[in-house]
Amino acid sequence: MFLLLPFDSLVVNLLGISITVLFTLLLVFIIVPAIFGVSFGIRKVYMKTLLKIFQWATLRIERGAKEKNHPLYKPYVNGIIAKEPTSLEEEIKEIRRSGSGKSLDTPEFELSDIFYFCRKGIETIMDDEVTKRFSAEELESWNLLSRTNYNFQYISLRLTVLWGLGVLIRYCFLLPLRIALAFTGISLLVTGTTVVGYLPNGRCKMFLSKHVHLMCYRICVRALTAIITYHDRENRPRNGGICVANHTSPIDVIILASDGYYAMVGQIHGGLMGVIQRAMVKACPHVWFERSEVKDRHLVAKRLTEHVQDKSKLPILIFPEGTCINNTSVMMFKKGSFEIGATVYPVAIKYDPQFGDAFWNSSKYGMVTYLLRMMTSWAIVCSVWYLPPMTRQPEEDAVQFANRVKSAIARQGGLVDLLWDGGLKREKVKDTFKEEQQKLYSKMIVGNHEDRSRS
């Protein structure tokens, strides 16, 4: 029989006690509060402490840069070119007036007109308002993450030691803790929904399914040390409606689902994601599509319409942008979810990048790398606003309704409202966009000529 030496026995005992204490702390301070939806305020104290450290580090960088005569990089939040919202016709009028003194009443092409297009082209090259929405937002202050500020360099021994201490805390303490919480949340979600799925349909099944989902998503939120502030909860989505929100990250789903009960819409996946989807759909009527069905717009619209027409079913959660944007703007909403005639519940999500950048640049990072970056950040801090429900007006088409909802979300979240398609992340600008500008200029010249001929 194998016998342990006294020292080995002591190590085993200490290890067992440590694991027991750690599990007890997780159970008391994280898992149990997640079940009941309460918080002890530890994360908010943690956030305030981090803010003070970040402020000190930023001031130390600025002081050190001045002492060594190093230029400080300051990001241009609003772009490097001051732009005013003027139309093509107004600008060409001004160019003609200041140049040849002619007006648009002259139907002929003026050589000076090309200056407008040249200037717009150069502005776009220098300060493109579209492609910069697909890269991480640069911070003015440093949050002790070397990947978030161009001013990160050796300033002083004290600052370097603080940064090294932060690396140890994030990778040796927070990362293992967060992985354990994420594993716990996902395991409970799969197990809980599978068990609930065997119950007969009814109020009991719906009640248990709701609370299993909420509990597991709240544990996953704590796995990211997410500090979320929800506003106007009386406007939360109701059954038979569609919840639409701006899209920054895959964790948007967890952020919203930890405060509400939604039916998800998406493509069926394989692997771990497929296991989770199959378990979830047993307990809740989520809308999953096969890969071959996703591109069939009519089939998708039919499935969504059937779901929202049943007022007993959960609100559908949809991100109409179709891709992740860096949380500085809201881009074009796809019209599909606005064609089915359901009540739309807009939601604005705004992340605070000081503690960790939630944006997923899918063209640069895979899902595993992205999740690793999330779990080694200090925290995920965001605000969520539930806007009043909106319905399509009689005179509106689906595109106009989508734009009205998008504008409301952008206004509430303090985001830039852009008309560009988020699909430009991976595709080139369509020729139709160029043709629209050509038609607009041609109509301006020909239209003025026709008006003068009639008079």
Is the distance from CB of 279 to CB of 318 less than 8 angstroms?
Answer: no
pLDDT digits (tens, 9 = 90+) for 14-47: 777 877 877 777 777 777 777 777 777 778 888 8
- 118-124, Cβ contacts within 8 angstroms, sequence gap of 24 or more: 123/81, 123/83
pLDDT digits (tens, 9 = 90+) for 177-197: 899 888 988 999 999 999 998
What does the pLDDT read at residue 128?
Answer: 65
pLDDT digits (tens, 9 = 90+) for 94-119: 666 666 555 555 556 666 677 777 77
Would you list the domain boundaries of the chain?
147-420
Residue 117 CA to residue 356 CA, distance in Å, equals 39
Three-state SS at 287:
strand
pLDDT digits (tens, 9 = 90+) for 197-217: 888 888 888 889 888 999 899
- 443-446, Cβ contacts within 8 angstroms, sequence gap of 24 or more: 444/88, 444/89, 444/92, 444/104, 445/104, 445/107, 445/109, 446/107
Q: What is the largest CA-CA distance in the chain?
A: 111
Residue 443 CA to residue 61 CA, distance in Å, equals 55
Three-state SS at 245:
strand
Backbone angles phi, psi at 454, to 5 degrees: -65, -40
Residue 451 has pLDDT above 60, yes or no: no
What does the pLDDT read at residue 351?
Answer: 92
Count other Cβ atoms within 10 Å, centred on residue 360: 26
CA atoms within 13 A on the CB side of 304: 27
Residue 112 CA to residue 110 CA, distance in Å, equals 5
Residue 191 CA to residue 54 CA, distance in Å, equals 41
What does the pLDDT read at residue 409?
Answer: 95
- Beta-carbon contacts of 226 under 8 Å, excluding residues fewer than 6 positions away, are 251, 254, 255, 379, 380, 381, 382
pLDDT digits (tens, 9 = 90+) for 326-335: 888 898 898 8
Residue 295 CA to residue 336 CA, distance in Å, equals 12
What does the pLDDT read at residue 401?
Answer: 92
CA atoms within 13 A on the CB side of 63: 8
Structure tokens of 391?
């319905």
